[in-house]
Amino acid sequence: MNKKYSMSYETFLKNFKLHISKLGFKNSIQKDYILKILFFSDEHLTAEDISNNIKKEYNIDVGIATVYRTVKFFDEINIINSLDVGDNVKRYELKISEHHDHLVCTSCHKIIEFSDDLIEEKQKNIAKDNNFELKNHTMIIYGLCEDCH
Residue 120 assigned ligand-binding role: yes
Residue 44 assigned ligand-binding role: no
Diameter of the chain measured on Cα atoms: 53
Residue 145 assigned ligand-binding role: yes
Type of residue numbered 130: N
Give the integer Cα–Cα distance in Å for 88 and 77.
23
Please calculate the CA angle 90-95-97 and round it to the nearest 5 degrees: 125
Which residues contact residue 51 at a Cβ distance below 8 angstroms, ignoring those fewer than 6 apart? Answer: 62, 63, 64, 67
Q: How far apart are the first and last CA of the chain?
A: 36
Residue 93 assigned ligand-binding role: no
Residue 137 assigned ligand-binding role: yes
Residue 19 assigned ligand-binding role: no
Which residues contact residue 53 at a Cβ distance below 8 angstroms, ignoring those fewer than 6 apart? Answer: 37, 41, 45
- Binding site membership for Zn(2+): which residues? 105, 108, 145, 148
- Binding site membership: which residues? 99, 101, 105, 108, 120, 137, 145, 148
- Binding site membership for Fe cation: which residues? 99, 101, 120, 137
